[in-house]
Each structure stands twice: as structure tokens, then as C-alpha cells.
Structure 1
Amino acid sequence: MKAVQITSFGGPEVLVVRDLPDPEASEFLLDVSRAGVNYADTHQAENSYLSPASLPLVPGAEVVGRLPDGRRMVSLLAGGGGYAEKALIEPALSFDVPDGIDDTTALAMVVQGASAWLLLRRSAVLNPGESVVVHAAAGGVGSLAVQLARAWGAGRIIATASSSSKRELALSLGADVAIDSRSEDMTSALREANGGKRVDVVLDMTGGRVTDQSLKALAPFGRLAFYGMASREQPSPVAPGNLLAHSTTVAGMWLAHAFLLPGDVLRPAIAELFEMVLDGRLKAVPGGEYPLSEARLAHEALRSRATVGKLVLDPSL
């Protein structure tokens, strides 16, 4: 089979298509029709992700396709292996794709949709009427988080994005206001966007200065949910005394931990997301489809922050 294999860590240049043996035959061997691409994959390629990687490595955490019995499934891959024509999937991390949901949408829901669901339901515990800041609101998680916040009764939704076209996209998805993510004083920009008031919830995957200044914009009992570091800059250490002084909460969220929670958290989350797609309350934003042979270009686009929505690879090309 064709697969992207990494034999040395680095940037997009380490993504090389090779001929590899098929995975061992199994009733859970998926013929991959599309593989999802996530920002976390760029960290995995350079071995800067939360869990250390080992070489050689076939990256990719999500696939959609058909099993030998014809079932159409979308699956999370805890150990990677998605950038390939075939992938072994685990039943516990796999979900039947309803008729009417295309490959890109199915992939968008299992990592980025589930992340947005957990951030709003579990990490930040959004209450109706509360103000919500969604950083990187045109991205895979952000574009879905804006829509979920609107569907679940958020008050004012403040989106940030780096270009006018991305800000227009966020507004079209349900944000009330969209501001430039490059604002020098993000604290003031967020408060101004919220009518001069501090904000209740911030979803942040940027890191560095943006995280530091967003934390200062929180209202009493406000919550910042941190789920990535696209800037590759560490935010400042958070002093517990400062949290006490302002009655604020900082939560971290890594989707891999949802695999470990007692009970099945992902299955009802993804079932709800699929239902919202089918009844028109939620849509994936297609961000581009790349041949498997051009996975490097997908990573370059992600790292340059030039993308929106969901990126996928086509293993047949």
C-alpha cells in the first residue's frame, strides 16, 4: 500500500510517500477513502507533541472508508497510521457514518468536532447567555465551536482570525463580532468587542501572548480552555493566587484523554454532532483536499496559518 512515512523528525519535508506492507488482514482493516489532517500532525512530525513519537512513523489520527463487510466507518487512530491507503481501526474508536454525511464532514466531527464539544461541554462548561471568545475561529475546531456556541445559547460570540476573509467566515457561521487575532493588546480588544465588559469563556489554541492577554480579559468566574499552541510559544506560568484573586479557571483539554474516561464520552458526543449536521444546525467547512502524495503541502499550509476548516488527504491520488 501507499503511505506517508516519517523516518526522521522535522518539518513538512520529512513526509515521504513510500510503498509499505499492508496491515495484517483483519475484519477491521479499513479501505481509506479520505484521511484527516490536523494541526497536531505538524507537531507529531517534528516530535514536539504531548506524547513522544518513535520512528518510523505513519502519521494521521483519523480515517474514513469501508470495512470488508461494506460498512462505512470513521475512526480515530490512537497510534497513528492514517496517512495511508489502508488502516487498522479499533471498534471502540470507530463510528458508523450516516447516509447524507460526506467524508470531509465525517472526519471533521471525530477530532475537531469532538474537541469543540468537549471544550464547551466539559472544559469551559458553557452556560446559556455567556460570552464566548473563539480564537482561530476559521480553523477546524474554531469554525465548529462558533456554531456549537450559537446552537447552545451563548450570548455574545467573539471570534478572532488573522485575515478579513477568515473573519467574514466566522461571522457567517454565527459569531457576533470578529476581531484581528494580531491585535497588540488582546485584552483591550476582547473587552471592547464585548461592549466594554470582561468575557466569560475563552477557547484558546494559540499560546504565548494571546493566552496571557486573554486570561486578563476574563470576568469573575470566567474560564479559559487551552487546547493547543499553534504559535509554538509557551504562555506565562499561571500563579494560583492570581486565579483566586479574580475567581477564574484555566482548563487544559487533550482529546486523547477522552479515550481514558470512564464510560463512553466520545460516542454520545459524535452522535449529537452527526445529528446536528443532518438537521442543518452544524456544518463542516471544507479546507482543501490534497493527494496523499502532497501531504507535505497540507502541512505547509497549516503551519503558515493559511487554512480554514477541515483539510483531508485522498489516498487514491
Structure 2
Amino acid sequence: MRAMQYERFGGPEVLREADVPDPVAGAGESLVVVEAAGVNFGDIKQIAGEHTEGPYAPEGPLPRIPGMEVVGRTPDGRRALGYVAQGGYAAKTVVADRDLVALPDGVSAGEALALLVQGLTAWHLLRSVARIRPGESVVVHAAAGGTGSLAVQLAREFGAGRIIATASSDEKRAFALELGADVAIDGDPEGYRERVLDANHGHPVDIILDAIGGPVLDSALDALGYLGRLVTYGASSRQPAAPLAPGRLAVDSITVAGFWLIPLIARKGAGGPALEELLDLVARRRLRPLVGAAYDLGHARDAQEDLLARRTKGKLILLP
């Protein structure tokens, strides 16, 4: 079968197209004929050799086939979305049954793939970690991104009272407003607290979802109200945050929590009520995943290079 694989660690340039044997499903697994595969930063980290331990770590010797997300059909004809630790950049792959969920009619491959990592992350940030309650105010950092754009919409779906989006440009802020944010502001750490309080009618906020880290995270703490929750799930700024003094949290009973989806999938599987709810919302057009460019499988290197260079918008997919 057709696949993209890497024989050594490195950047996207190490990916090569190859003809490899078809995978064989074992007990509790299903063979999936791949319609489309998702492209993630996690794939790039795998081929760079950055993950040798933990849930991202692939198994077996080189060469390996990267790719964690697929949409395709099982031998019994089901069209399904599935998570794999590796092997998605191929014409066929094997998916554990607990990591496979049937797709409703009307949900495209790109929409489904946008939900598996980014959508589930947004769902768990709000439901499992921040434990959003109706009427609460929510700030979403990087609101025009894959996870942020879904978090804005889900916050509205889950009953948020006021949604404040942060983004780095006028175009991105306008997009966040289209998605349902009440107000969109610059997320720069300088003057952050004043802009957030002004956007929330002068009041501190209940929930902040942060994928930026560094000085932004430090500034965000000052904008939280009593029993406020900040959930960190990334550090795209690549800058260290200031040391966190426990007394700073205790004054207003603030919670700072972290979240990473992949260990949760490793424990409980990708399938389940959260992913089913997300797919149902898309099928009913209450949730709008941002779908980007589609590349032929043989151009996976181009897709990864475009992602690294921030030339893309929305979920990138590969078509075998």
C-alpha cells in the first residue's frame, strides 16, 4: 500500500513515499481504509524524535509511518473517525476499536479530523477541567486557532454568559467575532488585565483558556475573579512564565490547572460521549470546525512545512 514514512529523525524533509505491506488488525482492532489523514504538530515532533517516552512515543524500529488521525471505512462499510499512535499517513491503518467512532451523515472528513485532537481538547478544557457553569465569563486565547476557534463556539453552546476572544490581528479578531465571541481584543501581555476587565464590563473573569504561556499567562492571572480558573494547555510563546506564588492564588481562591489530551486518550480511548457530542453538533451545524487545505499524501512534507511556517489556516488533511 501507499504510505509516507521516515527512516531517520529530522524535519519534514525526512518523509519519503513508500510501498509497504498492508497492516493486519488484531483482537479489538479494525482495519481502516483511509479516506483522509489529519496533520498535527505532534506528527512533526514524532519524526523529529522529540517523543521517545510517554503517550506520543511510537513503537517499533525505524522506518515508521507518522500520523495520529484518520477518517476512513472499516471492512463492514462503516465510515469512521479514529486515533492512532502512528500509521495515519497511509492508504490503510489499524485502529483500536475504543479509538474509533462512527461518523454521522453530513460530516466531512476535514470537519471530523478537526474534532479529534483540537475539538476534544476544547471540550475537555471547558467541561472536564474548568467545569464551566451557565452564565460564566470565558476568555479564549488564540481564538482564531484550531482549538481556540472551537472553544469559542463550545463556550457559547455550554451557556457562557460572556465570551472574550484574544487574537493577534484585526483579521483574526473579526473571525472570532463571527464564531460567536462577544468581544475580541489584543492578547498582548502589556495592558492585558485592563483590556479584559473593560471587555467584561469592568469585572474580573471566571475562566481563561491559555495556550500561549509566558508573560501572557502571568498577566492573565491578574484578570481572574474569585474562584476563577485558568487552564493552560500549551506554550506557543516559548517563553517562561513567572514563578507562581501560592499566596497569589489563595487571595481569590484561584485555580491554575493544566491539560494535555493524549494521556487521556491513552487511558480511556478517543471514542465516547465527548467525541459523539462534538460530531452531533457539527452534523446539526451548531459547531463549525475550521477546515484548511487538502494535500495529496505524497506531499505530506509540504503540509508539514506549511504548518511550521504558519502559512496555513484551519485543519490540514492528506488524501491517499
Per-residue deviation, residues 180-202 of structure 1 (Å, max 9, x unmatched): 33454433332332233222111
Query: Taking structure 1 as reference, are residues 185 and 291 closer, same or farther at Cα in structure 2, changes over 3 Å only?
Result: farther
Determine whether 1:35 maps to 2:37: yes
| Per-residue deviation, residues 264-314 of structure 1 (Å, max 9, x unmatched) | 784111111122122221121112212222223322333333433322111
Q: How does 1:193-232 map to 2 (within 5 A)?
A: 193-232=199-238
1:24-72 C-alpha deviation (Å, 9 max, x unpaired): 3667221111111223333333344583646543221110011122111
**Count of residue pairs the alignment pairs up:** 313
SS of the residue corresponding to residue 297 of structure 1 reads helix
Is 1:279 aligned to residue 284 of structure 2?
A: yes
Match for 1:162 among 157, 168, 176?
168
- Unpaired segments ≥5 residues, structure 2: none
Equivalent pair of 2:123/2:151 in contact (CA under 8 Å): yes
Q: In the alignment, what sits opposite 1:17?
A: 17
Once the two structures are superposed, the pairs formed by residues 288-299 of structure 1 within 5 Å of their partners are 288-299=293-304
> Which AA in structure 1 matches 2:282?
V
Partner of 1:115: 121
Query: Are 2:133 and 1:127 equivalent residues in the alignment?
Result: yes
Q: Give the Å deviation of 1:242.
A: 2.3
TM-score, reference length from structure 1: 0.89
Report the identity percentage.
51
> Please, what TM-score do these two structures have when normalized by structure 2?
0.88
Quick check: 1:139–1:307 contact (8 Å CA) kept in 2?
A: no
Structure 1 segment 1-317 matched on structure 2, within 5 A: 1-24=1-24, 28-48=30-50, 51=54, 53=57, 55-77=62-84, 79-182=85-188, 184-259=190-265, 266-315=271-320
Asked if 1 retains the 8 angstrom alpha-carbon contact of 2:100 and 2:270, the reply is no
Would you identify which runs of 4 or more consecutive aligned residues in structure 1 move more than 4 Å?
none
Quick one: which amino acid aligns to residue 295 of structure 1?
A: A
> Contact 2:189–2:219 at 8 Å: present in 1 too?
no
Task: Provide the secondary structure at the position in 2 that maps to 1:109.
Answer: helix
Tell me, yes or no, if the aligned pair for 2:99 and 2:270 is still in contact at 8 Å: no
Residues 52-61 or 132-141, more deviating: 52-61
Using the alignment, how far apart are the partners of 2:81 and 2:229 within structure 1? 32
Does the 8 Å CA contact 1:143/1:309 hold for their aligned counterparts? no
What SS does the corresponding residue of 1:290 show, helix, strand or coil?
A: strand
